[in-house]
A and B are shown apart, each in its own frame.
Chain A
């Protein structure tokens, strides 16, 4: 019964997202950008496939992050603000199931979008493969339709799973959508530079206390930079299987901790 209720909540988050025109706007824009990369590739002889992959993957990641943040921050706070949560929580639905269902619903939405955009990128690359002469193909460092791109999409999905958990946490914590968006974007940007923050004291000569504090913050923040294997894959460089597995494990552990914290906050929340 628990699984069914969580599934129902998740399905309704997905349904709401699918019916939201903003999502189509972001999705359409990103597909357009992937297509535009084809045109850009045409004017840069020999580098076209790299540019298309770079541009396409960056667009997918950016579009997914925008979707995650702007849908995620309203995931719970919008329910409270619009008072839809009152009737829902009077049903035999434990609060933790509501939070987990909300999380899984947005994760489903983002996953579908990431992989749909990935499919569009593969289609563009297949067209490029079809129209490129043999001598151009020979100059590519990695095949156009490279199966390793799937690994990039997998890590973007894992990164978004973690970002969804961050957005959900702030959504349960704060009543204001503005505060949620500021915190979520702040954590996301800081997470993108978390590797630099961890080694802050090695790079910048400051007092040991400040260096250690910044390093500690760097270790505590979700390390979004670790999910970026775009350049290795685009340039045909190897990516260790162990690194992928550890990164996925890290995402799963951090996500569980954040969703658990969100459940804890929401379970104590009062609805005045």
Chain B
């Protein structure tokens, strides 16, 4: 699979303080690749280096060392920028313009003809549910509407790569859902979507691949399924009409039994234990099987574990 974004030991130091300048490392030797197609989530707590990474990829910041490439070009190269769209975090646009004028302006900068600009602007504003507000000055827009304009402008040049910095920020639950659906639609169209977020539920619903950052360091990167498969394995058997003595006996054999309700128990089996003997034992004792579900680590569990161990490692080093 082709690589859309690659970084090699990408590092960014910031100088803080005027009289006694100090160096703060915002990003520490980041090396990762983002394959073409699919949704890549750049995850991490606040201050992890997510926005710094995206700004380095967009040439808004210059790396202290290391390098980054988009489609094989350096970030500042126009050939790369022609193929990408970007939504900044908490975007802001010209208040004196209407949404339609902004999109037409940006479309012109991308080299589209006036007719194409009008057509594409109109289609994109409909896509983000702002068709009725296209001729209203943006000073009258709510934060959520500005966010939608931001998403629309990021797609104005029909990009192969869409970079969204905290795209759900400022949106109400309906807006978040619409953006999620839009991201999946972009993925289905064959585009690569990279977004940063600290909202893990969004990432779990959307991402095929993730990179987890903390304190400027990449803690993990890869397919979401691999990341969540690293921890727990096995399955959970839920049954009803289970006698308490039977549950106690099973628990005594080392299987974790948890009482959910009256006669209703869940039993957790390790990866090496097949569920069939337990199911047969429960049935023989008159219990009814409710469900058998595979156990896996949630993204949140994986994230918390990685960030915790990453922080401990950072403290030790």
Contacts and interface: CB of A to CB of B under 8 A. Distances in A.
A and B pair up: yes
Interface in B44-70: 55, 58-62
Contacts of A213: none
A270 interface: yes
A5 B109 contact: yes
A20 B94 CA distance: 12
A93 interface: yes
Contacts of A15: 96-97
Nearest to A86: B88
Given A15-B96, A93-B109, A270 B88 contact: no
A89 B109 CA distance: 10
Contact of A272 (B61, B109, B150): B61
Contacts of A8: 105, 108-109
B94 A16 contact: yes
Given A8-B109, A271-B61, A90 B90 contact: no
B26 to A, nearest CB: 9
A270 B157 CA distance: 25
Interface string B180-223: 00000000000000000000000000000000000000000000
A16 B95 CA distance: 9
B46 to A, nearest CB: 15
A58 to B, nearest CB: 31
Interface of A: 1, 4-5, 8-9, 12, 15-16, 19-20, 82-84, 86-94, 268, 270-272
Q: How large is the interface on B (under 10, 10 to 19, 20 to 34, 35 or more residues)?
A: 20 to 34
Interface string B62-95: 1000000000000000100110111110111110
A8 B97 CA distance: 14
A272 B105 CA distance: 25
A270 B51 CA distance: 13
B157 A91 contact: yes
Given A20-B96, A83-B88, A92-B78, A1 B60 contact: no
Interface of B: 14, 55, 58-62, 78, 81-82, 84-88, 90-94, 96-97, 105-106, 108-111, 150, 153-154, 157, 163
A177 to B, nearest CB: 16
Contacts of B86: 86-87, 90
Contacts of B82: 92
Contacts of B153: 87
A272 B111 CA distance: 28
Nearest to B85: A90
Contact of A82 (B14, B59, B92): B92
A58 B109 CA distance: 39
Residue picked from B90, B111, B150, most chain A C-beta under 10 Å: B111
Given A1-B111, A89-B60, 6 more contacts: A83-B90, A83-B92, A90-B58, A91-B109, A92-B78, A92-B82
Contacts of B91: 83, 86-87
22 contacts: A4-B108, A5-B109, A15-B96, A82-B92, A83-B90, A84-B93, A84-B94, A86-B60, A86-B86, A86-B88, A87-B88, A87-B91, A87-B150, A89-B58, A89-B59, A90-B85, A91-B81, A92-B109, A268-B62, A270-B60, A270-B61, A271-B61
